[in-house]
Amino acid sequence: MKLPYLVSQNVREAYATSAVMKNSVAEVPRKIVAEDFEWDDELTPAPLTYYAARVLATIFHRINPLRKILQKDIDILMDLYPADIPLKYSVRYIQDEQYWKRSFNMKFPSRKELGVTFWKGAFLSICLQDYLENVNPDVFIENDAVELATLVSPYIYFLGLKQLQMVRQPSPPIPNDNVVEDTCSFSVPRVYDHIPLEPVLVKLYNLQEISLVFGINNLNDNYLTRYFEFSMADCESLCRGFEDLRHLKIFRINRSNLDCCKVKLILQNLVKKECIEELDFNHCKIGDYGMKALGGFIHIHTNVKIVRIANNRFKEVGVQGIAYALQMKPAAPIELLDFSLNPMSIECATMFAAAFVRCKEKPQTLIVNSCGFHGASAEKMAGLLSLNRGLTRLDMAANDLSGEAEKTLVSALEQNKKVLRIDLRRTHISEETQAKVDELLERNKNLIGQELEPSDEIPPLYLNEPEYLIWKYNPNNPDYLPGRYPERIPEV
């Protein structure tokens, strides 16, 4: 009965006997065909246990036989149980993964999940997601949400919400001739609150990843800008919710009106959690002061490895906050920084050069796709490879690296034997330059595992001396390019 699940259909087809072999002289008279798993279909009646299982499958909410029958009978029941058994009956007693996979495909046929290894957790996570995304906040019953979260909490490690409904905007009072009051619609305070996430999150003690989008999908003609706002009260409820989550590793808010004040409040609470490894604030509205708070988080936190802040609203001051954090903490555990889709000036490129020259081993990946680098700023970003020895991947797609930046890039790669991957799509470089870059990257890959001597062309950086701070990579001095500087004499 469980054969189709233990041996996949692809394997059965791959090892199936060919038609030529079946029709051969030696095979035709064979009466017993061992590889035919359906030989008894429509020939022999089903066993009595099968009919008993069919009856038991219809009354699971009244009789639970799983602890009293053999495993082979349990396998039969798992195929017969309906997928719409209430969760309060099925969650605690049914462990069979094939049942939960069948329930997932029947209840959410439009969702296609790849690489799922724990179907029970995936199904229950999406059930909770579906409830929270569609519940009306004006009639939200907290006890129902807490009951559902408590029921599924042992099996949920990921919670992703792609939308959250917003409370109804209060209407102005109806005009009354006997009462003097303000009936203007613009005088009514704007309300941007959503359902409180605190009572749900405090129950999900195994949660490792949170992904949130504060907005509403499929509005069509009902679009209003207020549907994509969220309040400080939402942030406070969220922060109180993940305060006791001891396994939270990834925190993500995307495509939301997350500004400086809100991100500060979230970071103030996340900095207390040593388990955090990844922050993702892509496609939000974080400005310079929010980036300063993020820089402080990087400087203080001892475990965060990945920071994604693509497509936000910060400028030079915000980049300076991140650069300062990296310079003041060269041994930070940061492994990946994603600044894509943020327009940057030459001052930003200078700050990046200052920070990444000082970093020894990390970050290992810098992503600055489509940041508007061109001319001197592009040359500065390409030239930082001549002095940095931590980066193994640099993504600069959709920037203009034509002209002098090409020469600087090739010159920097000739000295750098650590970088293994560079994304140069749509950078307007020549085919010769691309071929040379590929050749140098292949050389670096062949050098993996070998001990390398420091290049004589690169002077010591004196990272621990205050003299470094007045060197030409000072963010206030954007006139110098990495790799182009006069002879440097250390102070005595």
- 49-84 residue pLDDT tens: 888 888 888 888 788 888 888 888 888 888 889 888
* Confidence category of residue 174, pLDDT binned at 50, 70, 90: low
Using DSSP, state whether 233 is helix, strand or coil.
Answer: helix
Confidence of residue 114 (pLDDT cuts 50, 70, 90): confident
The predicted structure's pLDDT at residue 463: 38
When pLDDT is cut at 50, 70 and 90, the band that residue 199 belongs to is very high
In single-letter form, the type of residue at position 93 comes to Y
Q: Return d(Cα 459, Cα 467) in angstroms, integer.
A: 14
User: How confident is the model over 440-473, as pLDDT tens digits?
Assistant: 999 999 988 887 665 544 444 433 333 333 334 4
> Residues, the chain, total?
492
What does the pLDDT read at residue 176?
A: 66
Q: Which of 348, 318, 374, 324 is nearest to 478 (CA)?
A: 348
Count Cα neighbours of 129 within 13 Å in the Cβ-side half-sphere.
Answer: 20
Position 31 scores a pLDDT of: 76
End-to-end alpha carbon distance in the chain? 82
Question: On the CB side of 207, how many CA atoms lie within 13 Å of its CA?
Answer: 27
Higher pLDDT, 400 or 469: 400
Residue 195 · residue 140 · CB < 8 Å = yes
SS3 261: helix
Lowest mean pLDDT among 3-12, 236-245, 290-299: 3-12
Confidence tier at 45 by pLDDT (50, 70, 90): confident
DSSP 361-429: S---EEE-TTS---THHHHHHHHGGGT--S-SEEE-TTS---THHHHHHHHHHHH--S--EEE-TTS--
Cβ count within 10 A of residue 15: 9
pLDDT value at residue 384: 85
pLDDT for residue 147 is more than 90? yes
Higher pLDDT, 8 or 122: 122
CB 428 within 8 A of CB 404: no
Mean pLDDT of the chain, nearest integer:
84
Quote the CA–CA distance of 131 and 145 in Å, as a whole number: 8
Residue 166: closest CA among 232, 227, 254, 256: 227
Q: In this predicted structure, what is the pLDDT of residue 285? A: 94
C-alpha closest to that of 294 among 334, 254, 256: 334
- Residue 150 and residue 205: Cα distance in Å, rounded? 9
Q: In terms of DSSP bridges, do strands 336-338 and 250-253 run parallel, antiparallel, or are they unpaired?
A: unpaired
CA distance 406 to 425: 13
Q: Determine the Cα angle at 139 with ends 133 and 140, to 5°.
A: 50
Instruction: Judge if pTM exceeds 0.85.
Output: no
